[in-house]
Amino acid sequence: MDIDHEVAFIVLTDQAGRILMQHRGPDKRAEPNRWSPPGGLIEPGEDPLTAAHRELLEETGLTATLTFTRAFDQALTDGTTVRMHVYTGDTDARQEDVVLGEGLAMRFLTREEMTTRPLAGNIKALLGEH
């Protein structure tokens, strides 16, 4: 299977156990108007961890110690295949510390709150659930 793109996602958990989630805009090619952890394309010559740190800072204004958790490949409906690199981290940041750098909203959500929102189709894989 050829990989067309590589993406880094960040599953960032606050002290209350909530996960930082981004409401993606309607113009996004993948998962428009859905909620997913922040992340984005890995740039040419960039390693996945560097991309994860860059995306976290660009999209939220936050920094964190990140740990590689998993990678998986996903075939998209347009025929392309994307390799997803998932990193996890904990933060002392509060909601008011988050800067919305991309998307419609960026919120720390409980798992219960997530059930009330339209989530990305690969959310279970991103969060490490089966």
Res 1: pLDDT: 67
CATH architecture of 5-125: Alpha-Beta Complex (3.90)
Encode 33-59: b = buried (16+ Cβ within 10 Å), e = exposed.
Answer: ebbbbbbbebeeeeebeebbbebbeeb
Res 129: pLDDT: 80
CA dist., res. 7 & res. 38, Å (int): 11
CA dist., res. 108 & res. 64, Å (int): 15
Res 130: pLDDT: 53
Write down the domain spans for the chain. 5-125
Structure tokens at 11: 């599953």
The per-residue pLDDT string of the chain (130 residues; one tens digit each, 9 = 90 and over) reads 689 999 999 999 999 999 999 999 998 878 889 999 999 999 999 999 999 999 999 999 999 999 999 999 998 878 889 999 999 999 999 999 999 999 999 999 999 999 999 999 899 989 988 5
